[in-house]
Structure formats: structure tokens, C-alpha cells
Amino acid sequence: MKKLVFILLLTALFLGSCQKNNPIQEHKNSFVLKNLGKEIFYGTIYKPDKIEYLNKGFFIAFKSNDTYHLVHVFLPKNVLDYNTSKLQSFFKHLPINFSYNKKLHFVKFTNGTGEKWIFTTSDKAKEKFQGIPAVQIGVKWGKNHLKLDAPNKNCKNCTSGGEGATSCGVNDTFSGCSVSCGSGYYACCDGDSNTCHCCKD
């Protein structure tokens, strides 16, 4: 009987130490490491709230402290069709590190195995970072659950960006968004509705 109790005690101690050394167990929510003026984001996603694949792209939703975040990528259909199964496999390996740079027009994801995916909306960044061409990449944040800003959502009210702009952003006290657009699209950001998306030229 004493031997059984001893074995159970050792098992409990072992499981407890495993949980402490597992960063995914330790950090139930994701957190953003750095946010430089809403232009550059560095983040580590330990436990996404949601990863969803759409007919034109994908998005990752997660919470950082009391703020909801959404990182999204929209791709040409042929590019998405070719890569969807690879992306699904990639995002299974947590944690996911990401960096988004609006001015340089790219977003990079690195998974728990060290594999990298880079998406970009400019030819210059594509050449420099060896990125996959995207129609729209962006980040959104706020105190409430977020809705995805899809391309061509509302192109009438652009409080920033507008025709000819390749990127734009909204920076409110508690919410905001940032977007970068690929060839054939212009960036449109609406500060009234906190939306950032790309519109066809």
C-alpha cells in the first residue's frame, strides 16, 4: 500500500513539473511582445482562440491581456488552394511567433519547429524576404470580439488611405487596425467604424 502511495506521489510531481516547463500550459493566452506605433507588431501566440481558413485566406484570433487581436492574410485563390493543407499542418505546431510590418508590407510566422512562412503585398518585399504574394495582410485589435475586414468590404469612407495608398491604419485609444495591400488594390481605413481593408483599383 505504501509503495502504491509513493508511486502515485511521484507521478503527480512529475506531471506537475511537466506543466510548469511547458510554455503552452503556462501561457493560456497569447501576448504581444512589442507594438511600435501600430506600424510594427511582434507577437507570440501560445494558444490561439481561433484559426480559420476562408475561401480567400486565413486569420488567427487571440487575446493579449484584455485586448483581442486578429492577424489575417488574404491570398490569390490559386496560391491559397495550393498551400491550405501545408498551412493547416504548420499552425498545429505551437507556439507561433509572428511579426507584421506595415511599411515593409510583410507578415512572417514561425512555428514551434522553426518553420517559417512569409507573406508580402509588395514586389520589393517579395524579392527581399522571399515571401508569398498576398492580396491583403493586416492586424486588428480592440476590447471586444473582432470582425474580419475583408477586401472590398466598404470602399466609400476612407478617413485614411484611399486611391493610390498601399497601406493605412487606424489608431484609437482602445482599438485600431492596420493593413497592407497588394498589386491592383488600394488601402482604405475608416476611423469611424475601425475597419482597415483593401479595395480594387
- Flag whether pLDDT at 78 surpasses 70: yes
Quote the number of domains for the chain. Answer: 1
Q: Are 85 and 61 in contact (CB under 8 A)?
A: no
Confidence grade of residue 60 (pLDDT, cut at 50, 70, 90): very high
- CA separation for the pair 2, 127 (Å, rounded): 67
What separation in angstroms does the CA of 64 have from each of 109, 141, 169?
Answer: 17, 10, 20
- Flag whether pLDDT at 193 surpasses 60: yes
* Number of neighbouring beta carbons within 10 Å of residue 192: 8
Confidence grade of residue 33 (pLDDT, cut at 50, 70, 90): very low
Q: Are 51 and 91 in contact (CB under 8 A)?
A: yes
Q: Does the residue 6 lie in any domain? A: no
Instruction: Provide the mean pLDDT of the chain.
Output: 81
Q: Does the residue 120 lie in any domain? A: yes
Q: Does the residue 3 lie in any domain? A: no
Please tell me the number of Cα atoms within 13 Å of 4 on its side-chain side.
1
- CA separation for the pair 60, 70 (Å, rounded): 6
pLDDT at residue 35, rounded to an integer: 53
| Cut 0.85: pTM above it | no
pLDDT (tens digit per residue) in 117-159: 999 998 877 777 788 999 999 999 999 889 999 898 778 889 9
Q: Does the residue 144 lie in any domain? A: yes
Domain of residue 67, residue span: 29-200
Confidence grade of residue 6 (pLDDT, cut at 50, 70, 90): very low
Q: Does the residue 21 lie in any domain? A: no
Q: Does the residue 8 lie in any domain? A: no
